[in-house]
Structure 1
């Protein structure tokens, strides 16, 4: 391979691997992303709500635990709304409307999701019926078979 081609490949590699670094946030974090509210009661409400909201970037952490910039923005939004006196449930509903049901750890029963809540009950009922029939047959065989 020629030196010119190697330099070209190295340049392409550098651009491809350096692009994610360039895409990082250059804005400073939101004011309440890492700073608590002055009123302890309001901060407690905000903290309780943030622990029930999922970080959309991390997906396995709440926004209270995540260091992702998006979680910081969501913490800021929650704290600002709590400071204005907004109800935590209203804030949750606003975030669900904006980001979808996935943002909350508390699933909601809706026409689309009710089968998810009903399926375990149906499966337990089927299992109970199958086991009941199985034990009846076993008891009949163990009891001496058929009656004359």
Structure 2
């Protein structure tokens, strides 16, 4: 089925066929493929939201894998590709979002919840005495 789709895409537009093939095809340079795969594991699928694009079967994840491989193949560094993806899709796309005005609650939430848990536990122990 994938081969037939690839042939149809190649007949319609060779550029589309290359993008579709890069979604699940490794780059010929093992170092660049390793960089691409490492980056794919840190980028969140915008459709699945809980999965990295390396694990997702969603069409948008395949397109993003293709874009990453295409840009790394062209010589961009993983950091440049990550910055481009964040600019295009927003900070949420990264499993490690930068600390900023919109993301500070994500970073502060674990500490706030831990503090609340400690306060509840201490008050609970005090009542039992």
Shift of 1:126: 3.3
Using structure 2 for the length normalisation, give the TM-score. 0.71
Q: Residues 32 and 126 from structure 1, CA distance in 2 versus in 1: closer, same or farther, beyond 3 angstroms?
A: closer
Separation (CA, whole Å) in 2 of partners of 1:34 and 1:130: 49
Separation (CA, whole Å) in 2 of partners of 1:134 and 1:102: 37
- Conserved 8 A contact 1:29-1:69: no
Separation (CA, whole Å) in 1 of partners of 2:17 and 2:112: 51
Q: Residues 29 and 132 from structure 1, CA distance in 2 versus in 1: closer, same or farther, beyond 3 angstroms?
A: same
- Verify: 1:90 aligned to 2:80, yes or no: yes
Q: Which residue of 1 aligns with 2:119?
A: 129
Shift of 1:59: 3.1
Provide the alpha-carbon RMSD of the alignment. 2.5
Moved over 6 A (4+): none
Encode CA deviations 1:90-145: one digit per residue, 9 max, x unaligned. 21111011011232222332122212322332232233234334433433xxxxxx
Q: Select which of 38, 46, 54 maps to 2:44.
A: 54
Gapped regions of structure 2 (runs ≥ 5):
1-8
Higher helix share: 2
1:22-61 → structure 2 map (5 Å cutoff): 28=17, 30=19, 31-61=21-51
Q: Select which of 93, 96, 101 maps to 1:111.
A: 101
Q: Residues 123 and 34 from structure 1, CA distance in 2 versus in 1: closer, same or farther, beyond 3 angstroms?
A: closer
Tell me which structure has the larger Cα radius of gyration.
1
> What is the aligned length?
115
- Conserved 8 A contact 1:32-1:79: yes
